[in-house]
Amino acid sequence: MAAARGERAPGDQHAGVTPGPAVGDMIAVLGTGAYVVDAQGHIMAVNAVAERWLGRSAEQLLKGDAHDLLHRNARGESIPRVQCRMRPAFMAGRPAQADLEWFERGDGSLMAVSWTLSPVDLGGDDASTLVLFQPREEPADLAARPDPGDGLLQELERLALLAEMTTQLTSTLSVDEALQRLVSLVLPRLADWAVIDLISERDEVWRTKVVHMENGTAVSRRDLEGPMAPVPAESLMPLSRALRGVASTIAEPQTYERSPDTAIAVEQRRLFEVTGMHSAAIAPIRGLREVLGALTLGRSERPDKFTPVDLALVEDITRRAGLALDNARLYQRQRKVAETMQRYLLPQLPRVAGLEMTSRYLPAPDASHVGGDWYDAFALSDDATALVIGDVSGHDLDAAAGMSQLRNVLRSYAWSQKEPPSRIVERVDRAVLSITDVSMATLVFATLVPGEEGQWELQWTNAGHPPPLLVTREGVARYLAKGSGMLLGTGANRPRSDSSETLPLGSTLVLYTDGLVESPSHSIDEGLERLRRHAASLAHRPVESFTDELLSRTRPADNDDDVALLALRVGTRPGPA
C-alpha cells in the first residue's frame, strides 16, 4: 500500500510533508508500531503494525497532526500541547521515552502504550522524528514474540537506536564522518569506551578510534591509537577472532590474564589496563565481501556488564556500520581512480619565454572528482602559443571522456591548419557531432604571439564561454567581451569572428570556467563583477599567489560544478627560446 510506505499521494500539497519510499522502507521492517513526523508534527509515514494497533488506515493517519489524532489522557480527553511529554524532546531534537501514555484508536477507544522517540536524518532541511510504540497489554498477535531479554536497552530503545544508526551512517560517503557518527551513536548510550580497529586494503590493522566519555564529553585517546600487529591466523583471543570475522565475544580483564598469544592480544591487555574496562563487547565490522575491522565497546564507570542480548545489539550495529564503511570505501576508490584519470587528462603547461603561466583545477564537490572543465596551452608550428579554456556539459566520467576527445580534435586542427582562431573553432564545431561523444560544449580558443617592448598580441574567438579577464599591473580589470559566438554542438554552422588585444607588460590574463562565477545564490553578472573586483585587488601578487587567492575568494561556497582556471602574466620582453 503506497500510503503505508509513506509515499505522497497524487495531488498532495500539504505543507511540510515530504515523504519518500526510503522513509517507509526504514520503518516497514520494524516489529513494533512506528510512525515518522515532520518538523510540524505531521505524520509522514506509518507502518502496518501501527495501522493495526491504532485501528486506523494509513490514509487516515498520513498528513494528520499526530498530537491531535492520538494523544489523550487516561480519561480520553485531548491533552494541551503544553502538557505533552513528547513535545519538549521533539522540539529539542533529542531522544525521549515514556512507560505509560494513552493513544486513541480509530473507534474512539483508548490504548495504553509505552513509547520512545528519536530524531532521524532523512536528508532534508527539516528535522524529522521517529516514534516507536507498543501497547502496555500485548495484542494477541504479539503473544508469541520472544522475550527480548534484560539488556541495557529496552526493545523500543534498541529499535530507535538501530533506525537512527541506519539513517546516520548511510547518509555520508566519508569514512571519517561515518566513524565519528558511529562513535557518537554508541557513546554514552551503550558504553563508556568505543574502540574501532580497521583493516586497510593492504591488510594492515590500524587502531583508528579510541574514545572515552568524560563528564558527558567524548574525548579521543590519541595515545592508544595507531598501527597494530597483523591479524593472526590461529589466535583464539576475542579481537583476533573478530578481525578474522569468526565471532563476536564478551571479554573481561580475566580474558587476558594468561600470557597473550599474539601482539594484538598484548595490545588488548594494555587497553584493558589503561582504560579500566571491566566488560567489553567485541564484534566484527563486515562489508559485503570482506571483514573491514572490529568494534570494541567497553564499560568502566557503569557497573553492569555486557549481556548476550547487548552483544546481539552490537552485532546489529556493526552490520550497519560495515555496509556504510563499504560504500564509503568504494566511493573513495572510485574518486581516487577519477582523480588519477583527471591528472592524466589535464596537460602540463609549456615554458614560454616572457610569460608566466599557471593553472588550477577544482573538482565538483559532490561528483566523482572528474569532469568536463579543462584548460590547455601548447606551442603552434608558427611559434605562436595556443591557449584554451573549455567546458563540456556535465561533471562525470562521460564529460571527462568527451573533453579529452574535444581537446585532441582542437589540438590537431590548431597545429595543422595555420588559420585564425575562428576558423579553427568552426572546423572543430563541425567535427563535434560527427567524431566525438560531445553533445554540447563551450570554449575560448586564443593564440598569443610576442609583440614590441615586452607586449604580446592576443587573438581569440569565444564559443559561448564566459569572457576572458584582463588585469593590468595597475589593477585595472576588464572583460574581453568581443568575439563571442554560439556554443559548440548546435549544428548551426554559423561563421565565427575573431577579436584581438594587446597585452601590456605586467598584465595578467585569466581564462576560467563558469563554476567560478555561477551560483544558485546569485546571478552570473554578480559573480562576474565579484571576480573582476578581486582580480583587480590582487594584481600586485605573484601569479601563483594571485591564482590561489582568486580561487579562494571567488569560488561560491554553494558551487556544485568543477572549476578550471588558466592564468598568464606578461613578464619581461621575450628573447630567443
Helical packing angle, 308-345 and 155-169, nearest 10°: 10
Residue 459: the pLDDT is 96
Residues 291-311, mean pLDDT to the nearest whole number: 88
Is the Cβ–Cβ distance between 157 and 115 less than 8 Å? no
**With bands split at pLDDT 50, 70 and 90, how would you rate the model's confidence at 449?**
very high
pLDDT at residue 31 in the model: 77
Check residue 269 and give its pLDDT.
Answer: 87
End-to-end CA distance of the chain: 75
List, in order, residues 6 or more apart from 246 with CB less than 8 Å away. Answer: 284
Q: Determine the average pLDDT of the residues in 55-84.
A: 87
The answer to whether the CB of 299 falls within 8 A of the CB of 315 is no
Q: Are strands 96-104 and 110-120 parallel, antiparallel or unpaired?
A: antiparallel
**Do the beta carbons of residue 477 and residue 470 sit within 8 Å?**
yes
Q: At a CB cut-off of 8 Å and minimum separation 6, what does 170 contact?
A: 320, 323, 324, 327
For 126, other C-beta atoms within 10 Å of its C-beta total 10
pLDDT of residue 492: 79
Length of the chain: 577
CB-based contacts of 292, cutoff 8 Å, min separation 6: 198, 199, 285, 286, 322, 325, 326, 329
pLDDT band at 6 (very low <50, low <70, confident <90, very high): very low
Q: Mapped to the 3 state alphabet, what secondary structure does 84-95 carry?
A: CCHHHHHHHCCC
- Check whether 56 has a pLDDT greater than 60: yes
pLDDT of residue 119: 81
Q: Do 425 and 496 form a contact (C-beta atoms < 8 A)?
A: yes
Least confident of 23-32, 58-67, 88-97, 567-576: 567-576
pLDDT for res 339: 61
Residue of 478, 460, 458 lying closest to 469 (CA atoms): 478
Q: Is the dihedral of CA 100, 103, 105, 107 positive or negative?
A: positive
Beta strands, E only, 139-216: 193-199, 205-214
Above 60 in pLDDT, residue 312? yes
pLDDT in tens, 363-396: 766 544 556 788 999 999 778 999 999 988 765 6
Question: pLDDT tens for residues 491-526?
Answer: 777 889 999 999 999 999 999 998 899 888 788 899
Indicate the pairing of strand 193-199 with strand 291-299: antiparallel
Q: Is the pLDDT of residue 130 over 70?
A: yes
Domains recognised in the chain with CATH numbers: 21-145 (3.30.450.20), 167-336 (3.30.450.40), 347-570 (3.60.40.10)
CB-facing half-sphere around the CA of 476: CA atoms within 13 A: 6
Is the Cα torsion angle 194, 200, 205, 208 positive or negative in sign?
negative
For position 507, what pLDDT does the model report?
A: 95
DSSP conformational letter for 522: B
Local confidence band at 340 (pLDDT 50, 70, 90 cut-offs): low
| Position 144 confidence tier, pLDDT thresholds 50, 70, 90 | very low
CA distance 94 to 489: 54
Give this prediction's pTM: 0.51
In the chain, the largest separation of any two C-alpha atoms, in whole Å, equals: 98
pLDDT at 139 over 70: no
Task: Evaluate if residue 141 carries a pLDDT over 60.
Answer: no
Residue 170 is predicted with a pLDDT of 72
Report the pLDDT value the prediction gives residue 577, as an integer from 0 to 100: 37
- Single out the residue of 84, 143, 135, 96 nearest to residue 112, CA to CA: 135
Span 201-214, average pLDDT: 87
- Average predicted confidence (pLDDT) for the chain: 81
Q: Cα–chain-centroid distance for residue 569?
A: 37
Using a pLDDT cut of 70, give the percent of the chain over it.
83
pLDDT of residue 370: 59
pLDDT, tens only, 455-481: 899 999 999 999 999 999 999 999 999
> Which residues make beta-bridge pairs with 232?
none
Mean pLDDT for 35-50 is 88
Mean pLDDT across 270-279: 91
The per-residue pLDDT for 420 is 94
Residue matched to cell numbers 561533471: 395
Q: Are strands 484-485 and 456-463 parallel, antiparallel or unpaired?
A: parallel
Which range (271-280, 288-297, 396-405, 457-466) has the least confidence? Answer: 396-405
Q: Is the pLDDT of residue 451 over 50?
A: yes
Q: What is the DSSP letter of 519?
A: B
CA-to-CA distance for 310 and 306, rounded, in angstroms? 6
Answer yes or no: is pLDDT of 12 > 60.
no
- Strand 33-37 and strand 43-46: pairing? antiparallel
